[in-house]
Structure 1
Amino acid sequence: MKTTVKRTLTAAIVAGVTAFAGQAGAQEAELPRTMMWSAYDVGSSGYTEASAVADALIKEYGVRIRIMPSGTSIGRLLPLKTGRVQYGWLANEVYFATEALYDFSAREWGPQDLRVVMGRPAGFGIGVAADTGVKELADLKGKRVSRIQANPSVNLKVEAILAFAGLTWDDVEVVEMPSYGAALRGVVEGQNDAAGGVPTAGIFRELEASSRGIVWPNLPTDNKEGWDRVRKVAPFFSPATETIGAGLSKEHPAQLIAYKYPMITTYASTSEEDVYNLTKAVVESYDIYKDANKVMPRWDAQSAGKTPADAPFHPGAVKYLKEIGVWTDEDEAWNQKRLERLKAVQAAWDAAEEEAIEKEIADADWPDFWASYRKEHLN
Structure 2
Amino acid sequence: MNKKKTLNTLSRTLIGLLAGVSATVASADILVMGGNPAGSLFYTQAQALAATISKHTGDRVDVLPQPGTVFFPMFMTQEADLGIASPVEAKLAYDAEAPFDGANGGEGYAMRTLMLGSINRLSLVTREDDNIESISDLQGRRVVADYGAFAGATKTSLAALANAGLTTDDIQVVRVSSYPEGVRAVMEGRADAAVGSVGSGILQELDASSGAHLLPIDPSSEAMARSQEVGPAFVPYLASAGPVGIDTDTHVLSYATTLYARPDMDEEAILRVMNALWDHADELPGITRTLSTWVPEGYASTDVVIPYHEVAIEFFREKGVWSDELEARQQELLNN
Please state which band the TM-score falls in when normalised by the shorter chain.
Answer: 0.7 to 0.9
Aligned ranges for residues 268-287 of structure 1 at < 5 Å?
A: 268=263, 275=270, 278-287=273-282
Equivalence for 2:146: 148
- Once residues 65 and 112 of structure 2 are traced to their aligned partners in structure 1, the CA distance between those partners, rounded to angstroms, is 20
Q: Taking structure 1 as reference, are residues 89 and 139 closer, same or farther at Cα in structure 2, changes over 3 Å only?
A: closer
Query: What do residues 4-63 of structure 1 show as CA deviations (whole Å, max 9, x unaligned)?
Result: xxxxxxxxxxxxxxxxxxxxxxxxxxx9642523323684654554444444444444x3
1:71 maps onto 2:66 in alignment: yes
Equivalence for 1:128: 126
Are the equivalent residues in 1 in contact too, given 2:127–2:213 (CA < 8 A)?
yes
1:80 maps onto 2:75 in alignment: yes
1:241 maps onto 2:212 in alignment: no
Match of 1:38 among 33, 36, 42: 33
Please report how far the alpha carbon of residue 327 of structure 1 lies from its aligned counterpart in structure 2 after TM superposition.
Answer: 5.6
Are the equivalent residues in 2 in contact too, given 1:148–1:183 (CA < 8 A)?
no
Q: Which letter maps to 1:234?
A: G
Identity, in percent, stands at: 26
Please report how far the alpha carbon of residue 127 of structure 1 lies from its aligned counterpart in structure 2 after TM superposition.
Answer: 1.1
Equivalence for 1:192: 191
Q: How many residues align?
A: 305
Q: Taking structure 1 as reference, are residues 233 and 194 closer, same or farther at Cα in structure 2, changes over 3 Å only?
A: same
Please report how far the alpha carbon of residue 310 of structure 1 lies from its aligned counterpart in structure 2 after TM superposition.
Answer: 5.1
Equivalence for 2:8: none
Are the equivalent residues in 1 in contact too, given 2:76–2:110 (CA < 8 A)?
no
Please report how far the alpha carbon of residue 164 of structure 1 lies from its aligned counterpart in structure 2 after TM superposition.
Answer: 1.7
Aligned ranges for residues 1-379 of structure 1 at < 5 Å?
A: 33-40=28-35, 43=38, 45-46=41-42, 48-61=44-57, 63-67=58-62, 69-91=64-86, 93-102=89-98, 104-106=100-102, 108-110=104-106, 111-118=108-115, 119-130=117-128, 133-150=131-148, 151-177=150-176, 179-202=178-201, 204-205=203-204, 207-208=206-207, 214-221=212-219, 223-243=220-240, 244-248=242-246, 252-261=248-257, 263-268=258-263, 275=270, 278-309=273-304, 311-321=306-316, 324=319, 335-340=330-335, 343=336
Are the equivalent residues in 1 in contact too, given 2:51–2:61 (CA < 8 A)?
no
Q: Taking structure 1 as reference, are residues 289 and 68 closer, same or farther at Cα in structure 2, changes over 3 Å only?
A: closer
- Once residues 162 and 311 of structure 1 are traced to their aligned partners in structure 2, the CA distance between those partners, rounded to angstroms, is 26
- Once residues 49 and 203 of structure 1 are traced to their aligned partners in structure 2, the CA distance between those partners, rounded to angstroms, is 14
Q: Taking structure 1 as reference, are residues 190 and 273 closer, same or farther at Cα in structure 2, changes over 3 Å only?
A: closer
Are the equivalent residues in 2 in contact too, given 1:298–1:304 (CA < 8 A)?
no
Return the TM-score normalized by structure 2.
0.73
Are the equivalent residues in 2 in contact too, given 1:76–1:90 (CA < 8 A)?
no
Q: Which letter maps to 2:289?
A: K
Are the equivalent residues in 1 in contact too, given 2:35–2:83 (CA < 8 A)?
no
Query: What do residues 62-95 of structure 1 show as CA deviations (whole Å, max 9, x unaligned)?
Result: x323425253545423332123444334446522
- Once residues 254 and 71 of structure 2 are traced to their aligned partners in structure 1, the CA distance between those partners, rounded to angstroms, is 22
Are the equivalent residues in 1 in contact too, given 2:29–2:60 (CA < 8 A)?
yes
Aligned to 1:104, the other structure's residue is in SS state coil
Which piece of structure 1 moves more, 164-173 or 288-297?
288-297
Return the TM-score normalized by structure 1.
0.66
- Once residues 178 and 56 of structure 1 are traced to their aligned partners in structure 2, the CA distance between those partners, rounded to angstroms, is 30
Please report how far the alpha carbon of residue 180 of structure 1 lies from its aligned counterpart in structure 2 after TM superposition.
Answer: 3.6
- Once residues 164 and 36 of structure 2 are traced to their aligned partners in structure 1, the CA distance between those partners, rounded to angstroms, is 34
Are the equivalent residues in 1 in contact too, given 2:183–2:202 (CA < 8 A)?
yes
Q: Which letter maps to 1:313?
A: Y
- Once residues 42 and 200 of structure 2 are traced to their aligned partners in structure 1, the CA distance between those partners, rounded to angstroms, is 15
Please report how far the alpha carbon of residue 166 of structure 1 lies from its aligned counterpart in structure 2 after TM superposition.
Answer: 2.3
Q: Which has the larger radius of gyration?
A: 2
Q: Which letter maps to 1:112?
A: Y
Please report how far the alpha carbon of residue 281 of structure 1 lies from its aligned counterpart in structure 2 after TM superposition.
Answer: 3.5
Are the equivalent residues in 1 in contact too, given 2:128–2:212 (CA < 8 A)?
yes
- Once residues 335 and 163 of structure 1 are traced to their aligned partners in structure 2, the CA distance between those partners, rounded to angstroms, is 30
Please report how far the alpha carbon of residue 159 of structure 1 lies from its aligned counterpart in structure 2 after TM superposition.
Answer: 0.6
Q: Taking structure 1 as reference, are residues 293 and 149 closer, same or farther at Cα in structure 2, changes over 3 Å only?
A: closer
Aligned Cα RMSD in Å?
3.6
Q: Which letter maps to 2:91?
A: Y
List alignment gaps of at least 5 residues for structure 1: 1-30, 344-379
Q: Which letter maps to 1:298?
A: T
Q: Taking structure 1 as reference, are residues 104 and 84 closer, same or farther at Cα in structure 2, changes over 3 Å only?
A: same
Please report how far the alpha carbon of residue 286 of structure 1 lies from its aligned counterpart in structure 2 after TM superposition.
Answer: 1.9
Are the equivalent residues in 2 in contact too, given 1:40–1:47 (CA < 8 A)?
yes
Which piece of structure 1 moves more, 162-171 or 78-87?
78-87
Aligned to 1:282, the other structure's residue is in SS state helix
Please report how far the alpha carbon of residue 126 of structure 1 lies from its aligned counterpart in structure 2 after TM superposition.
Answer: 0.6
